[in-house]
Amino acid sequence: MSHESYLMFKVNHSCYGIPAIAVQELFFLPEVSAIAETPSTILGVINLRGKFLPVMDLYHRLEQARPPFQLTDSMIVLDWQTQRIGIIVNQVDSIQAIAPDQIAANVCGQSKESLPDRLVTGIANVEEGIVTLLNPELLVQHAFIETVFNPNSDFNNGSVNDVLKHPSDSGLYEHFDSQERQILQERTEALRCLIDDEDSSWLLPLAVVGLGGEYFGFGLETVHEFTEIHKITPIPCCPPHIIGNINLRGEIITLININNVVDLPMNGVRLHQQAVVVRLDQRVAGIAVDDIFDVTYIHPSQMTTPPIALHSAKDDYLQGVAPYRDRMMSIINLSKLLNSEALVVNEEV
């Protein structure tokens, strides 16, 4: 029985899935430039490496109230038959394979014959609960029917710029403070940079987190998802770096503190702290962090080795350093760190 892979994400605390084959890329929320005289289902466009990307209001399309945007929101870029759109979601969870017998196609009296013409193609029962599956073709087609531009237009040409509004005029970001707006602008600037096809394959995707007032980059190939810490169950007789267990949608995850390993004070876990859930081989662990700032891409040429004079304990797990905002970011080899003798993650403790 063939399985199809779906990207799972949340909108207003409800779980949705979309075929992974239609997902081109994803990144944290940037600024969206509004377009004059467009339907309410289109929020605007962003400049994605020199081409405009229409951004659909998925909440409106799903007939739901749209909450205020947050820095932790993500944008998913869908690609269907050379046409692309962006949709903004609360949280991207994971990619899961779903078997046909897990999907109920006949929902609310719909016939199978009518499903290709409907946005919702069915519902699936997975470990995390009920997932609503969406039709990417209809999302993309609907966006291009409603927008007024040629999808191959250059974002910088006059005809496009004539009808764009500044992001501050759209009212989408009025609740953001100056620091949050700066983060949005940095994300937007990074997305507009043109990259040669040959160079793009060498880009390193990183999750940027905050620990002890410093920036750290974790490779996305190991990062599974981000989550908030709500309740910690202590584990008796464990070393200090084992904080305890957390329940992530029914899966018990061991939460660890890596501060000591990266040469930072072993501070206590504060309320509402966040965690980066990482998967390494068959093991899963949560790394407690102070903040989750961004997902960014860097070219290897931007990464340098730290000066010998600044040698510290974290150098054993350091791939290099790279500029991020106004400081340097330490890029950590999570695979090496989690397998180190100084930090043993054992889910059976």
pLDDT in tens, 261-287: 887 877 654 555 789 988 887 788 899
More confident residue, 150 or 336: 336
pLDDT in tens, 101-140: 888 875 555 544 444 468 899 999 887 789 999 999 988 8
pLDDT in tens, 54-110: 999 999 999 899 999 998 899 999 988 888 999 999 988 777 788 888 888 755 555
- The domains of the chain are located at 4-177, 204-338
Strands 242-248 and 42-48: unpaired
The reply to whether 204-338 shares the fold of 4-177 is yes
> Closest Cα to residue 258, out of 219, 310, 314?
314
Give the three-state DSSP class for 225. Answer: strand
Q: Give the pLDDT of residue 310.
A: 46
CATH 2.40.50.180 fits 204-338, yes or no: yes
To the question of pTM greater than 0.75 for the whole model, the response is no
Asked if pLDDT for residue 239 goes beyond 50, the answer is yes
Letter string b/e over residues 146-169, b meaning 16 or more CB atoms within 10 A of that residue's CB: ebebebeeebeeeebeeebeebee
> Closest Cα to residue 294, out of 213, 198, 190, 196?
190
- Integer Cα distance of 276 and 206 in angstroms: 12
Which structure tokens are listed for 17?
Answer: 């899935």
Q: Give the pLDDT of residue 158.
A: 47
* DSSP output for 156-213: TSHHHHTTB--GGGSSTTTT--HHHHHHHHHHHHHHHS---HHHHTTPEEEEEEEETT
Asked if pLDDT for residue 198 goes beyond 50, the answer is no
The CATH fold assigned to 4-177 is: OB fold (Dihydrolipoamide Acetyltransferase, E2P) (2.40.50)
- Integer Cα distance of 186 and 217 in angstroms: 16
